Amino acid sequence: MLQIPFIRDNKELTLAGLRKRNFANAEAVVEQLLDLDQQRRDTQKTLDDGLARQNAIAKEIGQLMKTGQKEAAEAAKAETADLKAQSKTLTDQLADLEQQLQAILVTVPNLPHSSVPVGRSAEDNEVVLEWGEKPILHADAQPHWELIKRYGPNGGPMIDFDLGNKISGAGFPVYKGKAARLQRAMINFFLDEALAADYSEVQPPIVINEASGFGTGQLPDKEGQMYYATADELYLIPTAEVPITNLYRDVLVAEAELPIRHVGYTPCFRREAGSWGAHVRGLNRLHQFDKVEIVRIERPENSYAALEQMSQYVQGLLQKLELPYRVLRLCGGDMGFTSALTYDMEVWSAAQGRWLEVSSVSNFETYQANRLKLRAKLDGNKPTLLHTLNGSALALPRIVASILENNQTPEGIRIPAVLVPYCGFEVIS
């Protein structure tokens, strides 16, 4: 979350950033925060002055007793009792003011980077680049939700939504035969590529507690989108970003450890409440899906160079998969709550005739680190907040959809050459 001293010292910059995000009532919220901050600081000063006076009186009482000034000593004791009562009242007031401040701060999104375009929706996102040629399909080409019915074992679908619906519900498909092997192949390929790019692999839990959800900003912003195990008060993760970044919650990182670069594979779970329509058909929108995530923790001055490196890395994966793609810089109205700058990578779905988002790569600057209390002593100075970044590298469902659709031929579906050693087959037929 944002830091009060920054808002206090950069009021106009804060307001401009919140306006770019189309944050409702930005002026009123900032004024409320600054008013509460001033009350807190005034209360803290009064409390500190009272405590200092108590310490001074304690010394005076000792001197008065030594010199036999019993009456004056008793008066000093009475003043101390009054000051202690006042201190308790002020301490309670301070805690209440702090609680009010935090309650508002957690509702305020991160400020966008200066390069973030102005806009309200996905239509206002900026196209940074486009790569590859869009394939021209044969006349009988089909979208993936039709293709999957033709290539499964024993005449059934290779990705079975009806069977998943019987077991769990809508949005939980069962992968069979070559579809299951393709899933495993892609996970291993993505992990191997990340290891070759000097990321360190971790396998984190796929359930998190409330503190972890708060640390990376999913709580209290997105609790309605996460599955919640009420008996144990645990959430199923929406992305590996959450547990991997939380490895460093309340950690003072040694400077020599930076930069920290992790990769992890996990299943991910999202309720996606309110998502309906043709654009979420088939693999386009699932409640459970597999994803490989990259996470970096950087010195503040290096984080935007790291973001560009992460973008290039994800683009390299898409190029190796031979998928035409484009890179978008998200506008202020379309960015995630915690992000300062996000690039989305979208692949072209030839059979659907539209772009499908397959990755987001984001820099959160100090927003998550402030919640996580993730710091390091840099260059011998006092502890400072680090910058956190993450990116999908990659989420599988829409990559699978694009491979199936873009590579379909009358004879079958061609597997990208880079995946053949992992799959053990060249064609799904």
Supply the DSSP string of 33-55, one letter for each residue: HHHHHHHHHHHHHHHHHHHHHHH
- Is 390 part of any known ligand binding site? yes
- Is 263 part of any known ligand binding site? no
Tokens of 378: 């840099």
Distance (Å, rounded) from C-alpha 271 to C-alpha 172?
11
The helix/strand/coil state of 100 is: helix
Supply the DSSP string of 278-328, one letter for each residue: GGG-GGGS-SEEEEEEEEEEE-GGGHHHHHHHHHHHHHHHHHHTT--EEEE
Element (H, E) at 375: strand 375-377
pLDDT value of residue 70 = 77
pLDDT value of residue 57 = 87
pLDDT value of residue 288 = 97
Question: Exposed, middle or buried: residue 373 (CB in 10 Å: 0-12, 13-18, 19+)?
Answer: middle
Are 164 and 172 spatial neighbours (Cβ–Cβ below 8 Å)?
Answer: yes
Distance (Å, rounded) from C-alpha 305 to C-alpha 388?
13
pLDDT value of residue 278 = 57
Angle between helices 177-196 and 396-406 (to 10 degrees): 120
The helix/strand/coil state of 135 is: coil
- The single residue listed with the structure tokens 């010195």 is 299
- Is 239 part of any known ligand binding site? yes
Are 412 and 199 spatial neighbours (Cβ–Cβ below 8 Å)?
Answer: no
Q: What is the DSSP letter of 27?
A: H
Q: What is the DSSP letter of 113?
A: P
One-letter amino acid identity for 73?
Answer: A
pLDDT value of residue 273 = 57
- For the chain, list the domains and their CATH numbers: 4-105 (1.10.287), 122-428 (3.30.930.10)
User: What is the torsion angle, in degrees rounded to the nearest 10, for the CA atoms of residue 355, residue 356, residue 361 and residue 362?
Assistant: 90
pTM: 0.93
- Is 360 part of any known ligand binding site? yes
Distance (Å, rounded) from C-alpha 118 to C-alpha 110?
15
- Is 212 part of any known ligand binding site? no
- Is 271 part of any known ligand binding site? yes
pLDDT value of residue 60 = 84
One-letter amino acid identity for 144?
Answer: H
Are 244 and 204 spatial neighbours (Cβ–Cβ below 8 Å)?
Answer: yes
- Is 233 part of any known ligand binding site? no
Tens digit of pLDDT per residue, the chain (429 long)? 999 999 999 999 999 999 999 999 999 999 999 999 999 999 999 999 989 888 888 888 878 887 878 788 878 888 888 888 999 999 999 999 999 999 999 999 999 999 999 999 999 999 999 999 999 998 889 999 999 999 988 889 999 999 999 999 999 999 999 999 999 999 999 999 999 999 999 999 999 999 999 999 999 878 889 999 999 999 999 999 999 999 999 999 999 999 999 999 999 999 975 555 657 899 999 999 999 999 999 999 999 999 999 999 999 999 999 999 999 999 999 999 999 999 999 999 999 999 999 999 999 999 999 999 999 999 999 999 999 999 999 999 999 999 999 999 999 999 999 999 999 999 999
- Is 402 part of any known ligand binding site? no
CA distances from 22 to 26, 330, 332 (A): 8, 13, 7
* Residue 137: how many other CB atoms lie within 10 Å: 15
Report the half-sphere exposure of 122 (CA within 13 A, side-chain side): 7
